[in-house]
Amino acid sequence: MQILDIKDISLEYRDKIILENVNFSVCAGEFFMVIGPNGAGKTSLLKVLAGLQKASRGTLTVKGKNIESYSRRNLAKIMAIVPQQVEVGFPFTVAETVVMGRTPHLGMLGMEDEEDFALARQAMEFTDVVHLAERKLFQLSGGELQRVIIARAICQQPEIILLDEPTTALDPAHQLKIMDLMERFCREQGTTVVMVSHDLNLASMYGDRLLLLKEGREVRTGTPGDVLTRDLLEKTYGCRMQVDESPLGRVARVTPVPDKYLSPDEENL
């Protein structure tokens, strides 16, 4: 079943083309990853998917209905987004921040009950931030903050989670923890995950399908094996890449190759 269907989406901002005729669809329960060089339009694409940015052209269908027909509240019940940057200027505690994820599910006065707090606590346990519950947001490290924001998205109980480079600020252990967690949600809850990432190896190990973007255009969509090929990556990123089989097993491993490691006959790309 297609939960997200993107047809001919284009996005222009002040005569600058950010996305051009992007077409793809995401199935319910799929782990879908968006990769591509800086400025490829990955974050813009995610904002369009979340309804935060209106596309200049094209249609976006969420669960069979045009995204325009949803109210913000109903959309928030379906979709949560983990943005790249978050505002931490106001002294909310971690617990207060996480429970804010309950917003679309609350009544008019917006008062949380026991169940909401229990869900928030579970979400904090999932991302390993319970011990930080009473800390203020601005006292956290980048990685801790990222895990708090992911907990807030989980607390929202969405069917689709959109994440914008969630692992960039994390150490390897927490990277794997977040990726495993997202995978668990995917497999056990049937949650759809759409993740923007720069980490091609994480994409290779976790993504069911990848979308490779360059300059707002779709280069290829497919399984990691289809997309993570040396030719395609070198053309897209403009640097030498080595792609081989990971020692872990049948996963592709991508290694960007610095010039100094090139043999003399390879130097002219």
By CB under 8 A, the residues from 234 to 253 that bind other proteins are 248-251
Find the binder of other proteins among 15, 16, 38, 89 (CB under 8 A).
Answer: 89
164 neighbors 43 (Cβ within 8 angstroms) = yes
181 neighbors 127 (Cβ within 8 angstroms) = yes
Here's the x/- map for other proteins, 199-238, by CB under 8 A: it reads as: ------xx-xx------------xxxx-------------
**Both structure tokens of 155:** 């607390």
Find the binder of other proteins among 109, 173, 263, 264 (CB under 8 A).
Answer: 109
126 binds other proteins (CB under 8 A): yes
Stretch that binds other proteins, among 22-30, 60-68, 211-219, 228-236 (CB under 8 A): 22-30
Q: Calculate the CA 11 to chain-centre distance.
A: 19
Nearer to other proteins, 33 or 240 (CB): 33
199 neighbors 34 (Cβ within 8 angstroms) = no
189 binds other proteins (CB under 8 A): yes
Which residues are paired to 147 by β-bridges?
Answer: none
Amino acid 71 reads S
12 binds other proteins (CB under 8 A): no
Here's the x/- map for other proteins, 38-57, by CB under 8 A: it reads as: ---------x--xxx-----
**To the nearest whole angstrom, how small is the minimum distance from the Cβ of residue 258 to other proteins?**
28
**To the nearest whole angstrom, how small is the minimum distance from the Cβ of residue 230 to other proteins?**
18
Nearer to other proteins, 21 or 117 (CB): 117
Nearer to other proteins, 181 or 240 (CB): 181
253 neighbors 201 (Cβ within 8 angstroms) = yes
**Both structure tokens of 220:** 């290829």
**Count, residues near other proteins per rule CB under 8 A:** 75
Find the binder of other proteins among 4, 35, 119, 233 (CB under 8 A).
Answer: 119
First-to-last alpha carbon distance for the chain, in angstroms, is: 42
- Closest to 147 (Cα-Cα) out of 167, 119, 173: 167
Distance CA 191, CA 171 (A): 25
Distance CA 220, CA 207 (A): 14
Radius of gyration of the chain (CA): 19
68 binds other proteins (CB under 8 A): no
75 binds other proteins (CB under 8 A): yes
- Rounded to 10 degrees, the C-alpha dihedral 44/47/49/52 comes to -140
154 neighbors 74 (Cβ within 8 angstroms) = no
Distance CA 57, CA 157 (A): 30
**To the nearest whole angstrom, how small is the minimum distance from the Cβ of residue 144 to other proteins?**
16
Find the binder of other proteins among 106, 169, 219, 243 (CB under 8 A).
Answer: 106
Find the binder of other proteins among 94, 132, 154, 211 (CB under 8 A).
Answer: 154
